[in-house]
């Protein structure tokens, strides 16, 4: 059972849904307050959606300096899995854990509706249970979702397969290269604008988002299966 | 140490789309200001800071901009120190 830390900032509003979605996928999920510096040894950290610190100055700009972010950065630098959803994606960009930035939607409106996205990379901790090229319907809910990066960074993202999700049929916010989600070069840090936690059960209109959380469980199970084999005969977990 | 006022102007980088500036431009044109060729919208911050010299105040302000007040990916900034 993977341990999943859901970070709560003042102004987070998707923390409860994210915790529920992780638990529904079989994770041992728990909250970590933004002033805490101990993540309690998680397998993965999720920065949920919302409006941390009122989104003052720029979305994510102030959350980036909260005490917990130091622990999240250390976890990420050690290769630990980190997912930023919506405001979490903005925070990861502001913190420099992901390249680029998220700017005001091209048509200025706050958008809250389902969009179609294509899974472009499945070799991340959060997309391993999807098929490459698969199209999903996931909800977006953001005012600052226009992904931008300088030309060289954008070219590197494409060349290294770091675009994780891409809008198809309609680009809602004017995002560069129709980017809806990216990962870092190490592929352990992922940021996405759509909200998979809002679409993880038929009751919510579909379950295209569920495998974001199930990917974590599948990856954890595989890792532990390997651990078991490594000490075969002694039935010990390393 | 003396008190300095630093005025900081943060602007979206020229190459990037500025939808807020565009919306203001369209509104101005709708009001009859047809000769408005472009509008860009940014932020103006006024920071009171204690520093030994004017140069130190400016250096502090630049560090503030680099670390927090401006996003190096999307924005440029200028600082003006007074008195």
The DSSP annotation for chain A comes to --EEEEEE-TTB-SHHHHHHHHHHTT-EEEEEETT-----S-SEEEE--B-GGGG-SSTTTTGGGSHHHHHHHHHHHTT-EEEEETHHHHHHHHTTSSSSEEE--TT---EEEEEEEEE----STTTTTSPTT-EEEEEEEES--EEE--HHHHHHHHHTT-EEEEE-S--SS--GGGEEEEE-TTS-EEEESS-GGGSSBGGGTB-TTHHHHHHHHHHHHHHHHHHHHHTTTTT---
Interface contact B12, partner A, CB < 8 A: yes
d(CA A53, CA A14): 14
What integer is the mean pLDDT of A146-173?
A: 97
Angle formed by the axes of helices A15-24 and A210-230, nearest 10°: 50
Structure tokens at A154: 């954008």
CB < 8 Å to B69, chain A: 57
> Which of B10, B23, B70, B73 best probes binding to A when mutated, by most A CB atoms within 10 angstroms?
B73
What integer is the mean pLDDT of A50-67?
A: 92
Interface contact B16-A149, CB threshold 8 A: no
Facing residue for A106 by CB, picked from B19, B68, B73: B19
Interface contact B27, partner A, CB < 8 A: no
Q: Which residues of A171-204 are buried (b: 16+ CB within 10 A; e: fewer)?
A: bbbbbbebbbbbbbeebbbbbbbbbbbbbbeeee
d(CA B36, CA B28): 7
Facing residue for A101 by CB, picked from B20, B69, B74: B74
Beta-bridge partners for A182? A163, A191
**Local confidence band at A222 (pLDDT 50, 70, 90 cut-offs):** confident
Estimate to the nearest angstrom the gap between the alpha carbon of A95 and the chain centroid: 14
| Phi and psi torsions of A98, nearest 5° | -130, 150
> Which of A56, A57, A103 best probes binding to B when mutated, by most B CB atoms within 10 angstroms?
A103
What integer is the mean pLDDT of A175-204?
A: 97
CB < 8 Å to A65, chain B: 68
Residue of chain A with shortest Cα separation from B21: A108
Contact assessment for residue A47 and residue A93, using Cβ atoms and an 8 Å cutoff: no
Interface contact B73, partner A, CB < 8 A: yes
**Residues of A near B (CB-CB distance < 8 A)?**
57-58, 61-62, 65, 93-94, 100-101, 103-108, 146, 148-150, 174
Min distance A173 CA to chain B CA atoms (Å) = 11
Report pTM.
0.90
Q: What percent of chain A has pLDDT over 70?
A: 94
Least confident of A1-10, A81-90, A147-156, A219-228: A219-228
Predicted complex ipTM exceeds 0.90: no
Give the CATH class of A3-230. alpha beta
Reported as a single tens digit per residue, the pLDDT across A94-150 is 999 999 999 999 999 999 999 999 999 999 999 999 999 999 999 999 999 999 999
Output the pLDDT for position A177: 97
CB < 8 Å to A55, chain B: none
| Phi and psi torsions of A8, nearest 5° | -115, 120
Contact assessment for residue A10 and residue A52, using Cβ atoms and an 8 Å cutoff: yes
Facing residue for B71 by CB, picked from A58, A62, A108: A58
Nearest to A91 by CA among A214, A218, A191: A191
Facing residue for B17 by CB, picked from A58, A94, A174: A174
Longest CA–CA span in chain A (Å) reads 62
Interface contact B23, partner A, CB < 8 A: yes
Structure tokens at A40: 């309690």
Interface contact B74, partner A, CB < 8 A: yes
**Local confidence band at B83 (pLDDT 50, 70, 90 cut-offs):** confident
Domains with residue ranges and CATH for chain B? 2-82 (3.30.1280.10)
Q: Where are the domains of chain A?
A: 3-230
Average pLDDT, chain A: 92
d(CA A124, CA A2): 15
Contact assessment for residue A72 and residue A88, using Cβ atoms and an 8 Å cutoff: no
**Local confidence band at A232 (pLDDT 50, 70, 90 cut-offs):** very low
């Amino acid at each position: 059972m993977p341990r999943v830390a859901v970070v709560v900032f003042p102004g987070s509003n998707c923390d409860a849904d994210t915790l529920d979605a992780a638990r529904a996928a079989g994770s041992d999920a728990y909250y970590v307050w933004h002033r805490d510096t101990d993540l309690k040894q998680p397998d993965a950290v999720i920065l949920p959606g919302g409006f941390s610190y009122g989104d003052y100055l720029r979305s994510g700009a102030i959350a980036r300096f909260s005490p917990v972010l130091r622990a999240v950065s250390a976890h990420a630098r050690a290769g630990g899995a980190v997912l930023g959803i919506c405001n979490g994606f903005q925070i990861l960009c502001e913190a420099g854990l992901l390249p680029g930035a998220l700017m005001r939607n091209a048509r200025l409106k706050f958008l809250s509706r389902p969009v179609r996205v294509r899974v472009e990379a499945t070799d991340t901790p959060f997309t391993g249970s999807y098929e490459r090229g698969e199209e999903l319907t996931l909800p977006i809910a953001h005012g600052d979702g226009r992904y931008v990066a300088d030309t060289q960074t954008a070219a590197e993202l494409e060349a290294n397969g770091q675009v994780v999700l891409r809008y198809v049929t309609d680009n809602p916010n004017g995002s560069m290269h129709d980017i809806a989600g990216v990962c870092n070069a190490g592929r352990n840090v992922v940021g996405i604008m759509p909200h998979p936690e809002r679409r993880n059960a038929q009751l919510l209109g579909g379950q295209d988002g569920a495998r974001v959380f199930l990917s974590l469980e599948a990856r954890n199970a595989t890792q532990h299966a390997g651990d078991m084999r490594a000490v075969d005969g002694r039935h010990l977990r390393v | 140490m003396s008190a300095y006022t630093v005025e900081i102007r943060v602007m979206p980088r020229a190459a990037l789309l500025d939808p807020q500036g565009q919306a203001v431009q369209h509104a101005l044109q709708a009001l009859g200001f047809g000769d408005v060729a472009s509008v860009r919208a940014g932020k103006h911050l006024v920071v009171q800071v204690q520093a030994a010299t004017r140069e130190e105040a400016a250096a502090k302000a630049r560090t503030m901009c680099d670390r927090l007040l401006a996003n190096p990916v999307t924005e440029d900034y200028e600082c003006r120190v007074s008195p």
